[in-house]
Amino acid sequence: MEVKVTYFEKKGRQNTAQVFDLVRVRAGELGVTKVVVPTTGGDTGLLALAELEAFQVVAVTHPAGYKEPGEIEVPEATLRDLRERAYGVVTSTLAFGGVGRSVRRKFDTWQTEEIIAQTLKRFGEGVKVAVECTLMAADAGFVSPEEEIVACGGTGRGLDTALVIRPTNAQTFFEIKILEFICKPREF
């Protein structure tokens, strides 16, 4: 099989529109119906709903307290809009940053899930984000190991990465399959 992979010159949100274009094409070719997207402040999630309207979009946000204690970064009105329009919205503990992050901060020692995250970042921040969001979407019941999905990620805000993935849950992490790279930044 020969499949085209797009490599962006630079990481970042300036690639978002092209990521959506590439996702529409490849997901359509594969018959994939679900697309997982990260959305820190809600903008990327809303944009995904507009750009990927033929797909079931699962928006994954940071948990409460990620940036500020007790606060969710997505404004309430935006979160309500996402919940009404998206196939699913996940706001939960990060798969690679829960209790282990607390242990690292308290005892200055890395934990397994953060080592996995750092390893995935060797392929780019967006790869780590796409995999983590896939685990979170699977744990929330929006995607299944029985299907292939497209998962997107980014560096900071917006998107710069898209992968074809066969999902799994966080507790069965080593069963996840990254089947294809659709796009990613070459420099990160």
pLDDT in tens, 119-164: 999 999 999 999 999 999 999 999 999 999 999 999 989 999 999 9
Residue 92 domain flag: yes
Domain that holds residue 146: 6-185
pLDDT at position 183 is: 98
Residue 1 maps to a domain: no
* Nearest to 92, CA basis, from 125, 52, 53, 59: 59
166 inside domain: yes
Residue 85 burial (10 A CB sphere; 0-12, 13-18, 19+): middle
CA distance 149 to 112: 26
Has residue 97 been placed in a domain?
yes
Rounded Cα distance, 181 and 3, in Å: 9
Which tokens belong to 180? 């294809």
pLDDT tens digits, residue range 15-36?
999 999 999 999 999 999 999 9
Number of domains into which the chain is organized: 1
Cα–Cα distance list, 168 to 64, 83, 144, 152, 176 (Å): 24, 23, 7, 16, 5
Residue 150 inside a domain? The answer is yes
> Which pLDDT belongs to residue 101?
82
The CATH number that applies at residue 32 is 3.40.1380.20
